[in-house]
């Protein structure tokens, strides 16, 4: 990871893409793609997704790390190329609590992440906490709290076995909230270079006050806004000219690169341009589960055409079970979508924000997905039906590169997205030797 950062700073078009998802099929696809490319598999979880209380996945950092490592073993992926990251690690899940309580929980969480073997640690204390005014904390407060979290991480590091790699840190307060923004009216402005410099200096000073100068030299990323975002039905594309001033003023110390969040749904050319412009760490999450949903819905259509006329076959009802789950528990989507009932129904199924991703673990939904997979695995559909609904996967099956098997077809659709990121980051065995 540090070689990638160094090479990008020197002008090489290489970067790292970060997979932010807990879905096992997405993670399997990510490991497979990194395996093909001979590249780093950077997999991250967020503070509201995975924490000491389980988060919305029900997993602690130790449990999530164990699950990912088990997937890597089954995939034959080299352990030394698997890098776990923690995203938005800070008080966000407890932001409504008093600051002292929220930060105590955040410190415990960061320590758990480090003890579980996470290496890339994004320290995010940018939000106002209970009793504080405004939605964001002042820069000096955010930096001071980030340093406090770094100290907890460094204390936890000393509990690891000798020879364990030291944490690499990402800082920055200009970040979308976990789960994404709610922008519809226009593209966000790129971070001003002077604001980026002020953020770095505020964190440097805060780290120094706690005696964390050496840890500060392990800051490899600064989260900035390159001017990209997506809403429910819009994608705001990367504009290299708008981000030029920022890309031309990369901070000198520490030797970091920019980290870009919400890069989902950008074109391959835009992603490549971002890497060339030193936005060398690209975060992707909703696009991956969006592609997974596309594939599952497509296979549902295949199933209906192929098996719907056969007696004794119970068809799956994945889309219907998702809609029921989202209506029964609207907390993950109601603050993100607006409109009349028809607009809300479409958003729940097809929004770029992909709030549907929170409902795949629902037991009713999982039962329907399992039935879909069982039906199509037992009676594989003819290729002309695969061609109709999953044309790229049809071509791969015809070429002998992919099995006509439901999970393989789903993961390959996810891999289409991952390949765009891999290409943009220059992922290859040759590039892996950067020095």
Q: Are 86 and 113 in contact (CB under 8 A)?
A: yes
Q: Residues 151, 50: one domain?
A: yes
Q: What is the pLDDT of residue 254?
A: 95
Residues 399 and 424 both lie in one domain: no
Q: The domain that contains 334 carries what CATH number? A: 1.10.400.20
Same domain, 306 and 275: no
What integer is the mean pLDDT of 130-148?
95
16 and 141 both lie in a single domain: yes
pLDDT tens figures, 194-206? 999 999 999 999 9
| pLDDT tens column, 214-257 | 999 999 999 999 999 999 999 999 999 999 999 999 999 999 99
Q: Calculate the alpha carbon distances from 198 to 8, 121, 172, 192, 251 in Å.
A: 22, 21, 10, 10, 10
122 shares its domain with 6: yes
Range of the domain at 267: 2-284+417-433
CA-to-CA distance for 195 and 185, rounded, in angstroms? 24
Q: What is the pLDDT of residue 42?
A: 98
How many structural domains are present in the chain? 2
The 3-class SS string of 51-117 reads CCCCHHHCECHHHHHHHHHHHHHHHCCCHHHEEEEEEEECCHHHCCCEHHHHHHHHHHHHHHHHHCC
pLDDT over 50 at 369, yes or no? yes
Residue 435 has pLDDT above 60, yes or no: no
Q: Is this model's pTM higher than 0.85 or not?
A: yes
Q: Mean pLDDT over residues 149-172, rounded?
A: 97
Answer whether residue 263 shows pLDDT above 70: yes
HSE-CB of 162 using CA atoms within 13 angstroms: 0
Q: Do residues 374 and 232 share a domain?
A: no
Residues 346 and 428 in one domain: no
Instruction: State which H helix or E strand residue 235 sits in.
Output: strand 235-236
Q: Are 215 and 300 part of one and the same domain?
A: no
Average pLDDT, the chain: 95
Same domain, 144 and 251: yes
Residue 116 belongs to domain with CATH number: 3.20.20.70
CB 318 within 8 A of CB 300: yes
pLDDT band, residue 177 (cuts 50/70/90): low
List, in sequence order, every residue forming a beta bridge with 235; answer none if it has no partner. Answer: 230
**Residue 433, pLDDT above cutoff 90:** no
Angle between helices 286-307 and 406-424 (to 10 degrees): 150
331 pLDDT band, cuts 50/70/90, is very high
Check whether 184 has a pLDDT greater than 60: no
Both tokens of residue 123? 């320290």
69 and 92 in a single domain? The answer is: yes
| Residue 186: predicted pLDDT | 77
- Does 432 score more than 90 pLDDT? no
pLDDT tens profile 292-330: 999 999 999 999 999 999 999 999 999 999 999 999 999
Based on the fold, state whether residues 231 and 138 are members of the same structural domain. yes
In terms of Cα–Cα distance, which of 15, 31, 2, 14 is closest to 288? 31
Is residue 176's pLDDT more than 90?
no
pLDDT at site 96: 96
Question: Domain check: are 252 and 335 in the same one?
Answer: no
pLDDT at res. 187: 84
| pLDDT > 90 fraction of the chain, expressed in percent and rounded | 94
pLDDT at 428: 85
């Amino acid at each position: 990871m540090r070689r990638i950062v160094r090479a990008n700073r020197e002008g090489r078009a290489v970067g790292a893409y970060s997979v932010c998802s807990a879905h096992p099929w997405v993670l399997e696809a990510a490991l497979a793609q990194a395996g093909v490319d001979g590249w780093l598999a950077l997999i991250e979880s967020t503070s509201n997704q995975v924490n000491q209380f389980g988060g919305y996945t029900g997993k602690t950092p130790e449990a999530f790390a164990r699950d990912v490592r088990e997937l890597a073993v089954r995939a034959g992926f080299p352990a030394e190329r698997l890098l776990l990251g923690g995203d938005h690690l800070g008080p966000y899940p407890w932001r409504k609590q008093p600051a002292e309580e929220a930060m105590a929980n955040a410190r415990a969480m960061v320590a758990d992440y480090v003890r579980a073997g996470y290496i890339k640690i994004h320290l995010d204390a940018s939000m106002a906490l209970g009793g504080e005014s405004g939605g964001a904390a002042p820069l000096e407060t955010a930096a001071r709290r980030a340093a406090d979290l770094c100290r907890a991480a460094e204390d936890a590091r000393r509990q690891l076995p000798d020879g364990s790699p030291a944490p690499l840190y990402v800082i920055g307060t200009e970040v979308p909230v976990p789960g994404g923004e709610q922008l519809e009216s226009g593209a966000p402005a790129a971070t001003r270079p002077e604001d980026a410099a002020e953020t770095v200096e505020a964190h440097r000073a805060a780290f120094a006050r706690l005696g964390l100068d050496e840890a500060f030299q392990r800051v490899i990323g600064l989260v900035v806004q390159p001017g990209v975002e997506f809403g429910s039905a819009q994608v705001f594309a990367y504009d290299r000219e708008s981000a030029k001033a920022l890309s031309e003023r990369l901070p000198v110390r520490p030797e970091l690169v920019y980290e870009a969040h919400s890069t989902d749904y950008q074109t391959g050319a835009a992603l490549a341009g971002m890497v060339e412009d030193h936005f060398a760490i690209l975060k992707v999450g909703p696009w991956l589960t969006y592609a997974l949903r596309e594939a599952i819905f497509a296979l549902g259509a295949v199933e209906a055409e192929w098996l719907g006329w056969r007696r004794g076959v119970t068809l799956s009802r994945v889309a219907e079970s998702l809609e029921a789950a989202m209506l029964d528990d609207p907390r993950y989507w109601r603050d993100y979508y607006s409109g009349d009932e028809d607009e809300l129904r479409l958003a729940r199924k097809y929004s770029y924000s992909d709030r549907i991703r929170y409902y795949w673990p629902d037991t009713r939904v999982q039962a329907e997905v399992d039935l879909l997979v069982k039906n199509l695995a037992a009676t594989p559909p003819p290729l002309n039906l695969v061609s109709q609904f999953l044309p790229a996967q049809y071509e791969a099956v015809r070429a002998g590169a992919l099995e006509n098997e439901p999970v393989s077809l789903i993961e390959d659709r996810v891999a289409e997205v991952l390949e765009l990121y891999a290409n943009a980051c220059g992922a290859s065995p040759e590039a892996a030797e950067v020095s």
